[in-house]
Amino acid sequence: MAECHPVGFQWVMEAKARGAKIIHVDPRFTRTSAVSHVHAALRAGSDIAFLGGLINYVLSNEKDFREYVLAYTNAAAILREDFQDTEDLDGVFSGYDPERRQYDMATWEYEGAPTVPAAGSTDPEQPGEPGSESQHGGEGHQSTARADTYGSGGAAVGGKPKTDETLQHPRCVYQVLKRHFARYTPELVADVCGLPVEQFREIAEAVTANSGRDRTTAWVYSVGWTHHTVGAQYIRTASILQTLLGNIGRPGGGILALRGHASIQGSTDIPTLFNLLPGYIPMPHAHQHQSLDEFVAADAGKTGFWGNMRSYTVSLLKSYWGDSAQPHNDFRFGYLPRLTGDHGTYATVQKQIEGECKGYFLVGENPAVGSANGKFQRLGLANLDWLVVRDLQLIESATFWKDGPEVETGELKPEEIGTEVFFLPAAAHTEKDGSFTNTQRLLQWHHKAVDPPGDARSDLWFYYHLGRIIRERVGDDPRDAPIRDLTWSYPVEGPTGDPSAESVLAEINGHGPDGPLSAYTQLKDDGSTACGCWIYCGVRADGKNQAANRQPGSEQDWVAKGWAWAWPANRRILYNRASADPDGKPWSDRKKLLSWDADQGKWVGPDVPDFEPTKAPDYEPPEGAKAQDALGGRDPFIMQTDGKAWLYVPAGLADGPLPTHYEPFESPVENALYGQQESPTRQTLESPSNPYNPARSEVYPYVFTTYRLTEHHTAGGMSRTLPYLSELQPEFFCEVSPALAAERGLENGGWATIISARTAIEARVLVTERVKPLKVRGRTIHQVGLPYHWGPNGLSRGDAANDLLSIVMDPNVHIQESKAATCDIRPGRRPRGAALPVMVEEYRRRADG
Amino acid sequence: MAEYGTQPRMGFFTDTSVCIGCKACEVACKEWNGVPDRGELDLLGSSYDNTGALGSNTWRHVAFVEQSKPAAPAPSTVDLGMPDVGAPGQDEPGVRWLMSSDVCKHCTHAACLDVCPTGSLFRTEFGTVVVQQDICNGCGYCVPACPYGVIEKRESDGRAFKCTLCYDRLGAGMEPACAKACPTDSIQFGELDELRERADERVRTLHESGVPEARLYGRDPDDGVGGDGAFFLLLDEPEVYGLPPDPVVTTRDLPAMWKRAAVTAAGVAAAVAMSFLGRRR
């Protein structure tokens, strides 16, 4: 966190100064480790074993916060008799189809309470589209799990499951969980992660001692947890641990996702993701969602706040199509684009290589350096008709056709690349108005400080005028109606005609018959309200830009509601009903936040309640109640249909109802726990330019992991061209331990060549004690650390670490496993030109032979 | 004490125990003061430090010191005779990574200032030591005079450059750029007297919380330079960070030397006179 989020890390340092114990768990010894009380070096890709070990420690020592667990989680729910755990089936759950590498989730349900799929996914599984055979675990799998279709919140649970409040029933979630993790002992954690047993115990004791009625523990993670074939399950493991310890919805608790760069949270809230509409409303499917009724059908019956799905959707459609969206035309629901399968970034690039995807916009993204398997990315870029790159500098994704690695090796010839590249200089954040939404869901407004240089323009300028010109050009063709009817009217300012960012914020906030809306609870499904993103409704409450609030911390209480605006409804801690006990009293004076004031008949406290403000703790939903009315006064998790935190997920995840330790797809060791080596539902991508290293290969004996440095920004577009930053980290280097350096003859300051089945890259060598050899499964495992910022352009140059990676993905979210893979390393520079692929091929032959 | 005119003496307290080595100070300093980049890009192979040392183009420098730390004491748990699995762990030495942002010390007795023949180096109303670039003639006397090796001539320019403690910002009531940019308040700017109190308190806190190695460097007004205007909290010996353990103002002995020189000169003159006188005799 100190390495990649140094500004946010000031608060960790402040917590440390106030007595907090800081534990850093990371394969790498970073700037964070340097100032933490404990650094636990573990093998990249082994975190579920580590976290599972903590869960086992909590359960076997009965250290869970029992009152919290009983009241607010599904611990007491009883599972079906035919459910079988990975403990029973050597690493897979019941319902696994090895042919198709996917699960039938029927046996995962609660007894007596079948799960209902989300948002219109009531159809049986759709067959994979033509051509998807090459993507195992892709479309077909996805529609079974429907992991894409939930927006936020889990799948729906119909009716009330049978429960055992004593938690003794052998099939209740608590007991299932206990058995599932029983073998994740400190000794096993040590064996799998390479962590000393004593250190693991120290951490387990610290985390449990610092959780409960009087204390809370927070977990902070970044892409080190998400970039795995089991990334979603990493987060699930942390969720289970935090829920057992009562660390969710309470001050000082939580699981905080630090995003990759500014406003990535914002780019999922108002998404750049293929499967979401604003506010985590799922994107409709081409075959399943012919009408608005079909689309909201599953949710219309839902309990919890997603029960208002129709209001959120209709208000969104009204903001898109204004007066054209009317009840008789389904509010123009038919105008929305539709999904036909996985349109994620890697699937898109594959379509480029196959010649189906002809045009591409790259806006502030440099996949030729920043995405896994750079060659795969560049081959896609080289097979387009046109490519638009909007960035601050001429990044590698704009110049791949003349100086990319494949041009050097002769695999691509500039004169044979047909892609027409349009490079458009972009304005930086200081050169435009707008907002950032960061990890704590805080919308912070920034004002333009200087005009952008030369022809550089804001993205808002680009998209507004692009849309304006397209709208001028479209004719009367009915298929262009969605574009003609769009609301596209924004006041423009200055000589360059920049649209007003405030007016866009006003559209996002929404308006009703009486002007600007102030809360999402005002949204209606009759077309009387328009709102561009329901969770952002209220950011311009009273017509004022609340995101621009900058009341200093010294002038307000510790919750600091006067600094910017947090979605939803300016709530600072989500699910904060859980900060009080079932009766509405604070769990302790030290950790009080909200409490129920019976005299006033409302929840009181420094934060905005994430709960209906006047719903009493003793409220029992009447029979047949809908939406939030169906949740009781003791159900804090209001986006879930049952209002509970899920220790066990009866539906909604493609890869299992509980997290299970699988080895990374490319791992040097065998799975210590199960015969099943890697995630059975991993999503592979079969392509000649995406070969995999075999597991446990002696040809690729070392683990490598990629990461970032404070001095550079992601793929380098914002830093490698700047002299002041470039001189601080002037070139690409790898980090190795003295032991590995000795084993392979590497010298500090010298050169090394690092090889995978994809390619070979060269890096300067930094030999450091900070990289420790780990004892795993009785063997010494060496790890190679690779910062991934570099490419051939700019002042500070080097090979791209991500070129070494393969594309193998998590089946829920299609994120690649870029944090754990295998390689070889040897001294000296890599071969040049055509000799490079020859060497890589020679390695592959040896590995496959 | 420590007052120059009516304006209290201002300085830096750099608490290296909270430095995270982000180098924001280095960049903020260069941005504000228009300090050129060093031109050549070279990986030094010295941990994460690619700046090397303070110089004419580096007025803040973050040192990165990697140390092996002794093995933790053996755990006091009962040996159950279980097979030995897991990482080697406890008997292996750990690692400590020290980071520290170095800067001109703005000495109470500043040799650079003493030796400057043009008056380019001067003591400001804030008690800081600043080179006036329009007066510096590039003689370079200040360079060997500095006991810390801070000030340096810029090759491309010929004049001497170093930290000004953002003299222009101070005049406008602003804190120096490095202190402003520091996210963890490792670099603290303020009245020197107040900073010294704060530093003493911080050392006490660290000692009480099990960091006995914490110590102040350059805080003592009775040291060889009369105390530093920019002083430090360190977690190891100064040499570990590349700082001289017992700096002495290089001009300390000048008066005595001049005195001796004068005596010698007088003696020589007398001898010469005597020889003439003697010849006449």
Of B45, B75, B86, Cβ closest to residue A191: B86
Per the CB < 8 A criterion, the answer to whether B128 and B10 are in contact is yes
User: Are B210 and A33 a contacting pair, CB within 8 Å?
Assistant: no
Cα separation, A360 vs A353, whole angstroms: 12
In the three-class reduction of DSSP (H, G, I as helix; E, B as strand; rest coil), residue A651 is classed as: coil
Say whether residue B86 is in contact with chain A using an 8 A CB cutoff.
Answer: yes
Nearest to A190 among B20, B48, B85 (CB): B85
Which residues 778-807 of A have a C-beta within 8 angstroms of B? 778, 795-796
For tokens 């059908």, name the residue: A297
Residue A33 in contact with partner chain B when CB distance is under 8 A:
yes
Q: What is the reported pLDDT for A148?
A: 57
For residue A651, pLDDT over 50 is answered with yes
Chain A: residue whose CA lies nearest to B89: A196
B84 near A CB under 8 A:
no
Give me the total of CB pairs closer than 8 Å, taking one residue from chain A and one from chain B.
126
Model confidence band, residue A153 (pLDDT cutoffs 50, 70, 90):
low
B68, B87, B99: residue with CB nearest A775: B87
* Beta strand ranges found along A427-519 (DSSP E): 434-437, 442-446, 492-493, 498-499, 511-512, 515-516
Strand order in the sheet with B215-217: B187-191, B10-15, B230-234, B215-217
Distances (CA, A) of A574 to A254, A338, A440, A533: 9, 31, 10, 18
Q: Measure the CA–CA gap between A67 and A79, rounded to whole angstroms.
A: 21
Mean pLDDT of A627-654: 93
Of chain B, the percentage scoring pLDDT greater than 90 comes to 74
Q: Which residue did the predictor score with more confidence, B115 or A140?
A: B115
B26–A10 C-beta distance less than 8 A? no
Residues of B in contact with A187 (CB under 8 A): 82, 85-86
What is the torsion angle, in degrees rounded to the nearest 10, for the CA atoms of residue B187, residue B191, residue B194 and residue B199?
A: 30
Q: How confident is the model at residue A123 (pLDDT cuts 50, 70, 90)?
A: very low
Mean of the pLDDT values across residues A509-531? Answer: 96
Return the pLDDT at B252: 77
Q: Which amino acid is it at B113?
A: L
CA–CA distance, B130 with B166 (Å, rounded to integer): 9
How far away is chain B from the Cα of A27, in angstroms, using its nearest Cα? 13
ipTM of the complex: 0.91
**Backbone φ, ψ for residue A223 (5° rounding):** -70, -10
Contact A82, A653 (CB under 8 A): no
**To the nearest whole percent, how much of chain A has pLDDT over 90?**
88
Say whether B88 and A196 touch across the interface (CB within 8 A): yes
Residue A802, φ and ψ in degrees, nearest 5? -65, -15
Contact: A6, B22; criterion CB under 8 Å: yes
Task: Using a CB–CB cutoff of 8 Å, tell me whether B80 touches chain A.
Answer: no
CA gap A835, A529 in Å, rounded: 64
Residue A34 forms contact with B (CB below 8 Å): yes
CB of A730 less than 8 A from some CB of B? yes
Cβ-based neighbours of B115, under 8 Å, separated by 6 or more? B141, B142, B145, B251
**How confident is residue B81, by pLDDT bands cut at 50, 70 and 90?**
very low
Instruction: Name the token pair of A212.
Output: 């409960």
User: Which tokens in the block code for residue A474?
Assistant: 């479209």
What confidence tens digit (pLDDT) does each residue in A391-448 have? 999 999 999 999 999 999 999 999 999 999 999 999 999 999 999 999 889 999 999 9
Residues of A in contact with B95 (CB under 8 A): 29, 769-770, 772
pLDDT score of B5? 62
User: Is A10 in contact with B185 (Cβ distance < 8 A)?
Assistant: yes
Q: Which of A610, A662, A664 minimizes the C-alpha distance to A783?
A: A664
Q: Which residue has the tokens 């102030």?
A: A518
CA angle B47, B50, B53 (to 5 degrees): 105
Q: What does pTM read for this prediction?
A: 0.92
Asked if pLDDT for residue A120 goes beyond 50, the answer is no
pLDDT tens per residue, range A341-380: 889 999 999 999 999 999 999 999 999 999 999 999 999 9
Binary contact (B20, A775; C-beta < 8 A): no
- pLDDT at residue B258, rounded to an integer: 76
Distance CA A709, CA A704 (A): 16
For residue A730, the model assigns a pLDDT of 97
* Binary contact (A775, B41; C-beta < 8 A): no
Give me the pLDDT at residue B40, please. Answer: 81
Residues in CB range of A293: below 8 A, 6 or more apart: none
Give the bridge partners for A684, in sequence order: A808
Q: What is the dihedral of CA A242, A243, A247, A250, to 10 degrees?
A: 140
Q: Do B41 and A730 touch (CB under 8 A)?
A: yes
Contact B20 A31 (CB under 8 A): yes
- Least confident range from A280-284, A393-397, A531-535, A756-760: namely A280-284
Residues of B whose CB is below 8 A from A764: 43, 45
Are residues B92 and A772, on separate chains, in Cβ contact within 8 Å?
A: yes
Q: Which of A197, A721, A796 to mutate to test the interface with B (most CBs of B within 10 A)?
A: A197
Cβ contacts of A718 on chain B, cutoff 8 Å: none
Q: Mind listing the pLDDT tens digit for each residue in B11-45? A: 999 999 999 999 999 999 999 999 999 888 889 99
State residue B41's pLDDT score: 87
**Mean pLDDT, rounded, for A264-293:** 90
Q: Give the rounded distance of the alpha carbon of A655 from its chain centre.
A: 16
Full 3-state SS string of B54-84: CECCECEEEEEEEEEECCCCCCCCCCCCCCC
With beta carbons under 8 A apart, name residues in chain A contacting B26. 724, 728
Min Cα distance B33 → chain A (Å) is: 13
The whole-number average pLDDT for the span B118-145 is 96
Task: State the best of A707, A724, A766 to mutate against chain B, taking most chain B CBs within 10 Å.
Answer: A724
Cross-chain Cβ contact B51/A728 below 8 Å: yes
pLDDT of residue A272: 87
CB A153 within 8 A of CB A639: yes
Closest chain B residue by Cα to residue A795: B41
Nearest chain B residue to A733, by CA: B43
The answer to whether A733 and A766 have CB atoms below 8 angstroms apart is yes
Asked if A29 and B95 come within 8 Å (Cβ–Cβ), the reply is yes
> Any CB–CB contact under 8 A between A429 and chain B?
no
Q: Do B23 and A33 touch (CB under 8 A)?
A: no
Q: Report residue A149's pLDDT band, with 50, 70 and 90 as the boundaries.
A: low
Res A118 pLDDT > 60? no
Contact state of B50 with A728 under an 8 Å Cβ cutoff: yes
Is residue B69 within 8 angstroms of chain A, CB to CB?
Answer: no
Q: Which among B11, B16, B25, B18 is positioned nearest to B195, based on CA atoms?
A: B11
β-bridge mates for residue A339, sequence order: A285
Residue B20 contacts A where some CB pair is shorter than 8 Å: yes
Q: Is the pLDDT of residue A129 over 90?
A: no
Assess whether pLDDT exceeds 70 at residue B269. Answer: yes
Mean pLDDT for all residues in chain A: 93
Reply yes or no on whether the pLDDT at A128 is more than 60. Answer: no
Q: Is B71 on the interface with A (CB under 8 A)?
A: no
| Residues from chain A contacting residue B96 (CB–CB below 8 Å) | 34
The token duo for A430 is: 């200081």
pLDDT at res. B278: 64
**Nearest partner of B224 among B116, B67, B110, judged by Cα:** B110
Amino acid, single-letter form, for residue A473: R
B-chain residues within 8 Å CB-CB of A733? 43
Chain centroid to Cα B247, Å, comes to: 10
Out of A6, A727, A772, name the one closest to residue B24 (CB): A6
Q: Find all residues with CB under 8 Å of A747, minimum gap 6, and list them.
A: A741, A765, A767, A827
DSSP state of A410: T
Answer whether A716's CB lies under 8 Å from A790's CB.
yes
Sign for the CA dihedral angle at B117, B121, B124, B126 comes to negative
Q: Cβ of B30 and A187 within 8 Å? A: no
